[in-house]
Amino acid sequence: MKTNRLLMGAAAVVGVLSAGAVTASVLQDAPRDARPVQSDPIGDILRKTPAQAPTVVPTETAPSGAPAPKSPVAVTPPPAIIIAEDEAVEKVADEVVAAPVEKAIEQPATPARRQRRKFAVIQAIDKTTAESMKFEVEVGGRPVRFNQNLIFNVRACEVSTPDELTEDSIAYVDVSVQPRGSTQGAEPRQIFRGWMFASSPAVSGLQNVNYDAWVVGCKN
């Protein structure tokens, strides 16, 4: 009897631990609610204030030259150098041979690689309630839920390189719709997947009947 009780108690402990592990896994994968991004007033002022031109330090005045002599100074011209015709022709021939036949082909510079960031900053608007929020989504991390319905997943977020014509932030975003009160068996319905460009939100952003969303920037 004691052995049976011990076995039953051990089985109960194992069942409780397994249920706790499953619950923790479900909570880790569940979307978290979107939180507004904290404002950065000092950074905004620095970004909006135009850069001041560097201060130019006046150079010192050059000293005046020596005064001209009172009486003219005789200058003796150097002796004339006569080059033989054969030597001149030979010199020109040497220069022609020494000159390269054709210039070396310049190899194009290798373009710089875009730098990837850890977080994407998303701006979303609910057209029905006029609610708007700017929030962060971790790249490859936990999904973020906006306004009880939209779920955002970000696969990549990178910034443009200095040699590109337009300064930009680009993010690969996956947006799905799944109401918070829906049953667990209902799968999220995908409404957007692709690259979003901060420089052209009207072209690359999410444009839905009820929602608009676009990427604002990338950050670490």
Domain range list for the chain: 112-219
Q: Tens place of pLDDT for every residue, the chain, 220 residues?
A: 656 666 676 666 556 566 555 555 555 667 888 888 876 655 555 555 554 555 555 555 555 656 666 666 666 766 666 555 556 556 655 665 555 545 556 666 677 888 999 999 999 999 999 999 999 999 999 999 998 899 999 999 999 998 888 899 999 999 999 988 765 667 889 999 999 999 999 999 999 999 999 999 999 9
| pLDDT for 204 | 94
Q: What pLDDT is recorded for position 150?
A: 94
As a whole number of angstroms, the distance between CA 48 and CA 143 comes to 32
Q: How many CB atoms neighbour CB 118 within 10 A?
A: 14
**What is the model's pLDDT at position 33?**
86
User: Model pTM greater than 0.85?
Assistant: no
pLDDT at 83: 55
**Confidence at residue 66, expressed as pLDDT on a 0 to 100 scale:** 60
Q: Please classify residue 177 by burial: count the beta carbons closer than 10 Å to its beta carbon, then call 0-12 exposed, 13-18 middle and 19+ buried.
A: middle
pLDDT at residue number 120: 97
pLDDT score for 105: 63
**Contact partners, residue 212, CB within 8 Å, separation at least 6:** 124, 125, 127, 205, 206
Cβ pair 197, 173 in contact under 8 A: no
